Amino acid sequence: MDKCPKCGMLLDLCVCEILDKQGVAKIRVYSTKKKFKKLVTIIEGIDKAQLESTSKELKHKLACGGTAKEGVIILQGDHKRRAAEVLKQLGYPQENIEVS
């Protein structure tokens, strides 16, 4: 059986990922214009260990392109409201998600 490198418990019983999401500081979700007046949604405040997996899940659920780099997730299009809902579904606490 595989064990978690953080806590040493079996991977089936490990709750490290859930606890990491609970201890997250404020997550900020906002839209801005980039090149050629295209709208993009920016998500800041997600832990770097969770960045790639969260980005992949957001792009899949919102059916859009995007990238995750330098601690920020950039999604193509205006997805502020829906991105906040998906983050909540992924286990991030509602009170830590700030939509502006």
How far is the C-alpha of 35 from the C-alpha of 12, rounded, in Å?
45
Establish if 19 belongs to a structural domain: no
Q: 15 pLDDT band (50/70/90 cuts)? A: confident
How many domains does the chain divide into?
1
Q: What is the pLDDT of residues 50-75, one digit of tens each?
A: 899 999 999 999 999 999 999 899 99
Give me the CATH number covering residue 45.
3.30.780.10
Domain of residue 53 covers: 25-99
List strand residue ranges (DSSP E) for 1-100, in order.
Answer: 27-33, 39-44, 66-69, 72-76, 97-99
**In-domain check, residue 1:** no
Q: How far is CA 31 from CA 6, 9, 22, 57, 98, in A?
A: 35, 40, 24, 19, 12
Task: State the Cα–Cα distance between residues 82 and 55, nearest whole angstrom.
Answer: 14
pLDDT digit string (tens) for 36-56?
889 999 999 888 888 999 999
| Residue 31 located in a structural domain | yes
